[in-house]
Structure 1
Amino acid sequence: MAEERVLQDDPHRRVVRVGNTVRRPVHPWTPAIHELLRYLEGVGFPYSPRVRGLDEQGREVLTYLDGESGPQGWAQVVDDTGLITFARLLRQYHDAVAGFRLREGLTWCTEKSGPRDGEVVCHGDFGPWNIVWQRKDPVGILDWDYARPADRLHDIAYALEYVAPFRDDAECLRWLRYPEPPDRRHRLELFAGAYGLTSTDGLAGAVIDVQETGIEQVRRLAARGLQPQARWVADGYLDDLAQRVAWSRANRYLFE
């Protein structure tokens, strides 16, 4: 086998590149994710990795998506053009996955099956760090582990937390690559229009709802002994998440 190149060395989630593939640990819901990714390949969605099965160590094998992601992804969504591209990519995914139905007997990280009528399988972690870019063009979407059936608004609100963003000015300038404090209302409206929404009513509240359900998801996964959530709870990360919700509630007026 070709040499392994470490992409992520988290003690509970070691991810390596081997040739043109990525090897990652599996979860109880990995079979559902693989069905989803195979469906996307079948309908010609170009931005998802392709499933190549499991290797001799029991790791999932996915195709490697070449480009910039992680911290570099934040810089790509700071200007209006990148933000619009990001929103349109989410809409493309939702439209592509609309016909998918999970095979009976499989479940997602939420321990639910589905989707039900009116739902799609949301990506569940649609943030700038999980988009692969080549220059100004997105070429891939990473980390599908938290895909789950929900209203499209779940992914929209989750993304808006990070790209509106629902963060204070200091964090925007220090960590999120903004050259000056963002016009959050403008960015929320721009994202909504690019996605195809006809109104921004309720979006700020939806973001807060998704933040709160995210806390509950971390608790549930940690209670099952799953990582990294168990470590997050032990390290007090839930307090950080609660502080983010409190900031969003106190500063909701910036978005409405």
Structure 2
Amino acid sequence: MEEFAGGTTTVVRIGSTVRRPVRAWSEATQWLLGRLAAAGVRGVPRRHGVDAQGREVLDFLPGEAGTDPVPEQARRDSALVSAAGLLRRVHDATAHLPDKAGHRWQLPAVEPVEVVCHGDFAPYNCVFDRGVTTGVFDFDAAHPGPRCWDLAHALYRFTPLSTVDSPPPAEQARRARLFLDSYGRSRDERQDVVDALGPRLASLVDFMHASAAAGDENFARHIAAGHADLYRRDIAHLTAHHELWARVVVG
């Protein structure tokens, strides 16, 4: 048995499964994982009910996790391209589900609803093998919304479009364009993603503060550690380089 802590959740690995606490939105994520399985989407965990201790039982995804410090293979272009393809398959599998907004998700739906967003598609929630993104887990933040909303967060995390431990802005722009091209976004659709970058980060800051105010100690610790301040600095970074994103990322 191996125990490890995620950003806000303690998970236990037992053999080929992981066990994690049941949450108020677990029924919604169970529904989502079931739909992804029915659609044949590979690289996402399957759910196997609840164990005797009342914990969710999910597949353990093999590979190297992209947790800090982010491994070298997770920074390769091949990881970027394959991550974009995986996110596209997750989105496509949920695009035509008529009841996707009829569940109790952790986060509210974002209009216009097009797909079920993963909500936190990032290297730390993915696994990698030989420079390829082979799987994604932790669907706790999943919620209905537009593709550009999820893509904005994925770009921020995978490029990464940050002021810390990130490549220079020109390389950030190249990597962002590669991700969006690999996903299959048109020029107008790339513009939608660039426009969503700042609002998506701002919504994360708002969610952290609301959660901390409601008594969530994990988010209170994140704020105390300066995470919200970092996101605000990164919003300023995104704004400062808007012309670069427009020229290279949108084209």
Report the TM range for the smaller structure's normalisation.
0.7 to 0.9
Q: TM-score, normalised by structure 2?
A: 0.84
Equivalent residue number for residue 175 of structure 1: none
More helix by share: 2
Helix, strand or coil at the partner of 1:61: strand
TM-aligned CA distance change 1:103 to 1:196, over 3 Å: closer
Counterpart selection for 1:186 from 174, 184, 188: 174
Helix, strand or coil at the partner of 1:139: strand
Counterpart selection for 2:26 from 10, 23, 30: 30
Q: % of aligned pairs identical?
A: 35
Counterpart selection for 1:171 from 161, 165, 170: 165
Counterpart selection for 2:138 from 122, 128, 143: 143
Which stretch shows the higher mean deviation, 72-81 or 87-96? 72-81
Helix, strand or coil at the partner of 1:121: strand
Equivalent residue number for residue 203 of structure 2: 213
Contiguous gaps of at least 5 residues in structure 2: 247-251
Q: Which amino acid aligns with 2:212?
A: A
TM-aligned CA distance change 1:9 to 1:219, over 3 Å: closer
Runs (4 or more) in structure 1 with deviation over 6 Å come to none
TM-aligned CA distance change 1:230 to 1:27, over 3 Å: farther
User: Contact 2:36/2:93 (CA < 8 Å) preserved in 1?
Assistant: yes
Equivalent residue number for residue 39 of structure 1: 35
Counterpart selection for 1:239 from 226, 229, 234: 229
Q: CA deviation at 1:68?
A: 0.8
Contiguous gaps of at least 5 residues in structure 1: 173-177
TM-aligned CA distance change 1:163 to 1:253, over 3 Å: farther
User: Contact 2:94/2:115 (CA < 8 Å) preserved in 1?
Assistant: yes
Q: Which amino acid aligns with 2:141?
A: Y
Helix, strand or coil at the partner of 1:171: coil
Equivalent residue number for residue 249 of structure 2: none
Two-structure CA RMSD over aligned residues (Å)? 2.7
Q: How many residues matched?
A: 243
Q: Which amino acid aligns with 1:48?
A: V
User: Contact 1:47/1:140 (CA < 8 Å) preserved in 2?
Assistant: yes
TM-aligned CA distance change 1:181 to 1:144, over 3 Å: same
Q: CA deviation at 1:38?
A: 1.2
Q: TM-score, normalised by structure 1?
A: 0.83
Q: Which amino acid aligns with 1:83?
A: L
Q: Deviations over 1:4-42 (max 9, x none)?
A: 2113277x6221101111011222111111111111112
User: Contact 2:148/2:192 (CA < 8 Å) preserved in 1?
Assistant: no
Equivalent residue number for residue 65 of structure 1: 61
Helix, strand or coil at the partner of 1:255: helix
Q: CA deviation at 1:101?
A: 4.5
